[in-house]
Amino acid sequence: MPNKFQFAFLTSFTVVLFSLVGLSHFVRSKLRDAGYDISNLILIGLPKPEPIEPAVPMDLNQLKDQALAFYKTLDVASLTSSPLFLITSALVLAAAFLTNFLTTGRLKL
């Protein structure tokens, strides 16, 4: 049960918070009635941005051709022998091993 000081603090905090929210809604409604968009308030005087045209959907055959072109240029041998791939693989295996050991307490291979 809060004492009188805690109650006074909670009451004043709640009253101030709801007063600010109410004032914000009041000002926003007055601006909206005057024809201002609150999100563009700082941009008064600037031209409105042009609407973005929707993207043209990609043809499925075109997507398939791009995927095939990518896979033809992919060199798996050089990818798997790169130092970055080897270090990343070692880190993933070490994390899996440690996770298994720390959760079960047993060494499983």
Tokens representing residue 7 in the block: 């109650």
Look at the pTM and tell me if it is higher than 0.75. Answer: no
Residue 49 lies in a domain: no
Q: How far is CA 83 from the centre of its chain?
A: 31
Residues 65 and 91 in one domain: yes
**pLDDT tens, per residue, the chain with 109 residues:** 678 999 999 999 999 999 999 999 999 889 888 887 777 666 666 677 677 777 777 788 888 888 888 878 877 778 888 888 899 999 999 998 888 878 777 766 6
Residue 18 lies in a domain: yes
Residue 67 lies in a domain: yes
Residues 68 and 38 in one domain: no
Which of 44, 46, 19 minimizes the C-alpha distance to 34?
44
Distance CA 2, CA 7 (A): 6
pLDDT at 93: 92
- Alpha helices, H only, the chain: 4-33, 60-73, 76-80, 83-104
Residues 66 and 98 in one domain: yes
Residue ranges making up the domain that contains 72: 60-104
Residues near 31 by beta carbon (within 8 Å), at least 6 away in sequence:
38, 41
| Counted domains in the chain | 2
pLDDT at 87: 92
pLDDT at 28: 87
Distance CA 2, CA 71 (A): 68
Residue 55 lies in a domain: no
Residues 72 and 98 in one domain: yes
Residue 14 lies in a domain: yes
Give the length of the chain: 109
Residue 54 lies in a domain: no
pLDDT at 10: 92
